[in-house]
Amino acid sequence: MRFSSIILVILLASCATPVKQQQEALLLKNICCESIDEFDYQSVNLNKGVTLKFNNKSLIYDFGDGKTYFSALQIPSNAGTPYISVESYFNGSLIGQYFEPIFLVLNENYEGIEVFSLKLRFLDANLFTNPNAHMAGHFQLAEGAKYIIVFTGKFQSKTPIAEIAPSTSMVMIGSTPTVYSNQGDSIKLERSPTGSIKLKLLEID
């Protein structure tokens, strides 16, 4: 009985809160500010990378498409126009829910330069590059950019499908090697109002 309870706890911990429930909780919260120039912009070092978390502890604003959690960033004045990589990680430990970011880029006077989203692609876990499956993309920072606001909204496009290739792996159970085969899978993903993304300068040769 105790063993069954442990398994149940592990399964529950690996599951993310349903998207509908997350959206309902978001609608009950108040927005933080009257305008974007009131935001507290966090200074970031994109060389080292920054991880942004969007959850019920995050600030909320309505950018014209309904309430959304957001992060407001201040980038160095000498940043130039580098390429920035974007990694959006799945909620829980299962491939399914992810935060699809929208980027609003402002100049030093809090005036909009551009607003855009990315066509993120699915990258499966890889022992040598990144052990966590995620959605990935990149963009080039616009000239004159001083602030970046990251949020999400309603998308007209269909959510992507995560295509997981067949694979074989081996683990040691005691002194016995055990081989596991994965036949591959296609998983329909869900856009979520919560999640976490990582931004970092992209090195291009």
Mean pLDDT in residue range 138-156: 94
Q: pLDDT (tens digit, 9 = 90+) per residue, 29-38?
A: 999 999 999 9
Residue 56 to residues 48, 108, 134, 194, Cα–Cα distance (Å):
26, 29, 21, 8
Q: What share of the chain has pLDDT > 90, as a percent?
A: 65
- Which of 50, 57, 142 minimizes the C-alpha distance to 104? 142
Please, are residues 145 and 106 in contact by the beta-carbon 8 Å criterion?
A: yes
Q: What pTM was estimated for this model as a whole?
A: 0.85
Mean pLDDT in residue range 105-130: 92
Q: 13 pLDDT exceeds 60?
A: no
- Give the SS3 label for residue 10: helix
Please, are residues 113 and 106 in contact by the beta-carbon 8 Å criterion?
A: yes
The identity of residue 159, as a single letter, is T
Q: Please count the residues of the chain.
A: 205
Token pair for 122: 């699915």
Q: pLDDT (tens digit, 9 = 90+) per residue, 172-193?
A: 677 777 766 667 789 999 999 9
Q: pLDDT (tens digit, 9 = 90+) per residue, 68-82?
A: 999 999 998 777 788
Token pair for 157: 């496009």
Q: For residue 51, report the phi and psi dihedrals to the nearest 5 degrees.
A: -105, 125
